[in-house]
Structure 1
Amino acid sequence: MEYLEFELPIKELEEQLDKCQVIGKESDIDVSDTCKQIEKKLAATKKEIYGNLTAWQRVQMSRHPSRPYTLDYINAICGESFLELHGDRTVKDDKAMIGGLGKIGDQSYMFVGQQKGYNTKTRQYRNFGMANPEGYRKALRLMKSAEKFGIPVVTLIDTPGAYPGLEAEERGQGEAIARNIFEMTRLKVPIITVIIGEGASGGALGIGVGDTVLMLENTWYSVISPESCSSILWRSWEYKEQAAEALKLTASDMKKLKIIDKIVKEPIGGAHSDREATFATVRDEIAKAYKALEKLSPKELVDQRMEKYDAMGVFKG
């Protein structure tokens, strides 16, 4: 298991506990009391560290290499019922944006989300979760298909941003994202959005317009990453921690600003520390959100969605 810098005290205690248990197995010495003391100290340390995470530490948690990605959630939630669909019918199939039909119980959903890779080869294959214009056009094609057949849409956000390459701009990156935002506001089926990792810039907004927006506890959502913000304001990445605090990008900040609707609790230690529990929680939250939306007519859905996003950014001087 990989540990982040601020998790090193936990690593030390877990190593001590492992050694203590090994000594107990390999010798006749009773070490049960010592093990219990270490376990107690480990639990207290985890509670202290994970209960007081800074904004930058939550950004680090959202990028943890062991953290589950979009396909992990979909495969765990839908099992064999998931049918992946490909291509934007114009350019090609973008591997950074995945989507398809799947079931939770007896209810079908159209799942759409960014997919990252697990190692160097798959990260290149998935373009580090940064979609090209054809990825956003594929996402829109799938959402419009869902609308045609009355199937609710679930979007899973986990991207450091849309791909910023010259070829992406040549093929209309900005227009593709803007078109998605425009069309999603008017989509006549329920849209449930779940931020499962990084939610950066227009890359996230391109599939981020939802009737219900859920955000996992150790994720972030912002117009820019802390590193990029730091490099613009201070001409250096050294101030990324200050930038993270100033950007107000954590789940609690987003809830206070009414950008999201609900924070989804993660197991202590993050989503990767107990993947099955995280999958079960997300599955239940999606089903619960859909139950609250399914009785609304298409007109009520669109009107409510429009009102929700119209209200954002309004303030009294």
Structure 2
Amino acid sequence: MRHFLDFEKPIAELEGQIEELRRTTDAGGIDVAEEIGRLRDKAEKLLSATYAKLSPWQKTQVARHPERPKCLAYVAGLIEDFMPLAGDRAFADDAAVVGGLGRFRGRNVMVLGTEKGTDTESRIRHNFGSAKPEGYRKARRLIELAGRFNLPILSFVDTAGAFPGIEAEARGQAEAIARSIEACLDAPVPFVATIIGEGGSGGAIALAAADRVLMLEHSIYSVISPEGCASILWRDAAKAPEAAEALRLTAEDLRRLNLVDGVVPEPMGGAHREAEVMIASVGDRIEAFLNPLLALDGSTLRARRREKFLEMGRTGVV
């Protein structure tokens, strides 16, 4: 059964009526095809009107939709012969960060991403996509491995942020994130990152300091979650909608500010409504961004990548 967000309740009611009429027809009742068609047209128009004017807070809810394709869905749909690699060679393996070798449209690549999980068991196993220091150390290890073997890097980011627990801080969370960002900037190979859901704080940029950064239309990317921002500024997490507006965290905002390089349109109603279409579309955009980078040597890639991120700090945009 499809999960509907709070602002989608009118759409849910129409789709519920359509399903009821379908069951009536299946049970041998009267032919209601005309009524189903009328309700379907009405639902599609309402869906289109609703998604044409989403607020930043509503986009945040879409980015967090439980049925939204996660990192491993993109890996399964785009990467052939994926071979996962585990561990940071220092403490443990962190399932919040996944990575490994595979082939993207015939080319050998290194894949990285943050995985939230799709049900209760997998969400707990992947710690809801919130990585600990060993996760970022694993990412750094795989990025450096990609550099040694001249493998382009693709990352898929979907995290509310790095894990904030005491044990993570005790094991050097901030340093691990900084080292992962450093490895991203130093990689002598093409690097394309895609924000597929939430891009939360340093936990996201640790896997997204790339040559080209894509965002899905209804994804978000920010220095802090709206709830965290509201708790700090107003001491009231209920003011998250106002914080979302102020943070400029939508794909449209970030593209306008030149902080990301491209926005991938989503199917009407969000990526979760047509996951396979969404994944294929992301693959096409990644390929379009990756191909020109393949012609550049390592020193040029590093220099351009560093300049790209330094330039963001020179704009004066707030």
Report if TM-score (shorter chain) is over 0.5.
yes
Show the counterpart of 2:258: 258
Q: What's the CA shift for 1:25?
A: 4.2
Show the counterpart of 2:97: 97
CA pair 34-142 structure 1, distance change in 2 beyond 3 A = same
Alignment of 1:116-135 (within 5 A): 116-135=116-135
Q: What's the CA shift for 1:279?
A: 1.1
Secondary structure of the residue aligned to 2:88 is coil
User: Counterparts of 2:24 and 2:114 in 1: how far apart (Å)?
Assistant: 46
Q: What's the CA shift for 1:51?
A: 1.1
CA pair 13-90 structure 1, distance change in 2 beyond 3 A = same
Q: What's the CA shift for 1:47?
A: 0.5
Alignment of 1:111-260 (within 5 A): 111-260=111-260
RMSD: 1.4
User: Counterparts of 1:230 and 1:245 in 2: how far apart (Å)?
Assistant: 11
Task: Report whether the alignment pairs 1:61 with 2:62.
Answer: yes
CA pair 29-119 structure 1, distance change in 2 beyond 3 A = closer
Q: Deviations over 1:194-233 (max 9, x none)?
A: 0011111111111110101000111110011000111111
Q: What's the CA shift for 1:23?
A: 3.2
Q: What's the CA shift for 1:312?
A: 0.2
User: Counterparts of 1:223 and 1:104 in 2: how far apart (Å)?
Assistant: 30
Aligned length: 316
Q: Deviations over 1:33-79 (max 9, x none)?
A: 22221121111101011111110011111111111111111011124
User: Counterparts of 1:243 and 1:7 in 2: how far apart (Å)?
Assistant: 21
User: Counterparts of 2:26 and 2:157 in 1: how far apart (Å)?
Assistant: 45
Q: Which amino acid letter does the alignment assign opposite residue 169 of structure 1? A: E
Q: What's the CA shift for 1:31?
A: 2.5
Show the counterpart of 2:48: 47
User: Counterparts of 2:300 and 2:181 in 1: how far apart (Å)?
Assistant: 18
The percentage of aligned residue pairs carrying the same residue is 44
Q: What's the CA shift for 1:187?
A: 1.1
Where do 5+ consecutive residues of structure 2 fail to align? none
Q: What's the CA shift for 1:20?
A: 2.5
Task: Report whether the alignment pairs 1:296 with 2:296.
Answer: yes
Secondary structure of the residue aligned to 1:83 is strand
User: Counterparts of 1:243 and 1:303 in 2: how far apart (Å)?
Assistant: 35
CA pair 25-251 structure 1, distance change in 2 beyond 3 A = same
Q: What's the CA shift for 1:282?
A: 1.2
Q: What's the CA shift for 1:26?
A: 4.0
Q: What's the CA shift for 1:28?
A: 6.2
Q: What's the CA shift for 1:24?
A: 3.6
Show the counterpart of 2:74: 73
Secondary structure of the residue aligned to 1:40 is helix
Q: Which amino acid letter does the alignment assign opposite residue 32 of structure 2? A: V
User: Counterparts of 2:233 and 2:29 in 1: how far apart (Å)?
Assistant: 61
Q: Deviations over 1:64-119 (max 9, x none)?
A: 1111111111011124x100001111111111111001112210110011111223
Q: Deviations over 1:219-266 (max 9, x none)?
A: 110011000111111111111100000000000001011110000111
Answer with 148-157 or 299-308: which moved more: 299-308
Q: What's the CA shift for 1:316?
A: 5.7
Show the counterpart of 1:311: 311
Q: What's the CA shift for 1:21?
A: 2.9
Where do 5+ consecutive residues of structure 1 fail to align? none
Show the counterpart of 2:17: 16
Answer with 13-22 or 232-241: which moved more: 13-22
Q: Which amino acid letter does the alignment assign opposite residue 195 of structure 1? A: I
Q: What's the CA shift for 1:155?
A: 1.1
Secondary structure of the residue aligned to 1:82 is strand
Q: Which amino acid letter does the alignment assign opposite residue 272 of structure 2? A: H
Answer with 227-236 or 120-129: which moved more: 120-129
Q: Which amino acid letter does the alignment assign opposite residue 315 of structure 2? A: F
CA pair 125-30 structure 1, distance change in 2 beyond 3 A = closer
Secondary structure of the residue aligned to 1:162 is coil
Task: Report whether the alignment pairs 1:36 with 2:63.
Answer: no
Answer with 140-149 or 180-189: which moved more: 180-189
